[in-house]
Amino acid sequence: MLDRFVCQQPWIGAKISGGGRAIPLAPPLLRVGQGQVAVVGDAACQVFSPHGSGVAQGMLAAHVLAKSLAKGRNAEDYNAVWQRRYGGHLAGAVAFRRFSQSLSVDELSDMIERKVLSPPMVRNSLIQRPPRPPKRALLRSGRGMVRRPQLAPRMLSMLARMKLIQEFYRLYPRNAAKIPQWARQLARLAR
């Protein structure tokens, strides 16, 4: 069905390459649209890094690109709109993935057992949403961190970094000349 659809679309060119490669778990590209070129999905590192999901992110990016083009705008518009709307979420998720990869099996088990990683937080991660646990879950999480004090600073630092990155992406410049300066500031935040 997909092959038939592709054959019926004159605007879709021949496949250049693809398939069978590693999922990019890096932050999204700093430019996903420039000039006559726009990239979406894995090519743009539009992947939810904690569990490597990229299909939904690629579809969201394609939707933003299609809307920009339908309005008579260009790849730069898609770039700025997508970065401001979705880039921070995906870049912030990289901070969470790096934190979770640093945990030992014992630390991770303990965090789940003590509800530091509560069911609402895990659920949000599985559906690719930022962690927004209910207040009760936050209180349980706080009590759990008190019992595992060496994890609390690391986790709080990661959560703060995630939020800073997410908010910083809302300031993504529309002027391409300002992107390098913005990127340098982002690199300092993401360390």
Answer yes or no: is 73 within a domain. yes
Which alpha helices (H) appear in the chain, and where do they start and end?
A: 2-7, 55-70, 75-82, 88-102, 105-113, 119-126, 135-147, 152-169, 179-190
Residue 115 domain boundaries:
24-178
Answer yes or no: is 7 within a domain. no
Q: pLDDT of 102-116, one tens digit each? A: 988 988 888 888 777
Give the pLDDT band of residue 177 (cuts 50, 70, 90).
very high
Mean local confidence (pLDDT), 73-87? 97
d(CA 67, CA 53): 23
Q: pLDDT of 92-141, one tens digit each? A: 999 989 998 998 898 888 888 877 777 777 777 788 877 666 677 667 77
CB contact at 8 A, 111 and 39: no
CB contact at 8 A, 171 and 87: no
Answer yes or no: is 3 within a domain. no
Answer yes or no: is 173 within a domain. yes
Tokens of 27: 């932050």
- Whole-model pTM above 0.75? yes
Structural domain total, the chain: 1
Q: Is the pLDDT score of 71 beyond 80?
A: yes
Answer yes or no: is 160 within a domain. yes
DSSP string across 130-167: -----HHHHHHHHHHHHHSTTTHHHHHHHHHHHHHHHH
Q: pLDDT of 29-61, one tens digit each? A: 999 999 999 999 999 999 999 888 888 999 999
Answer yes or no: is 191 within a domain. no
Tokens of 26: 């890096």
Answer yes or no: is 185 within a domain. no
Answer yes or no: is 162 within a domain. yes
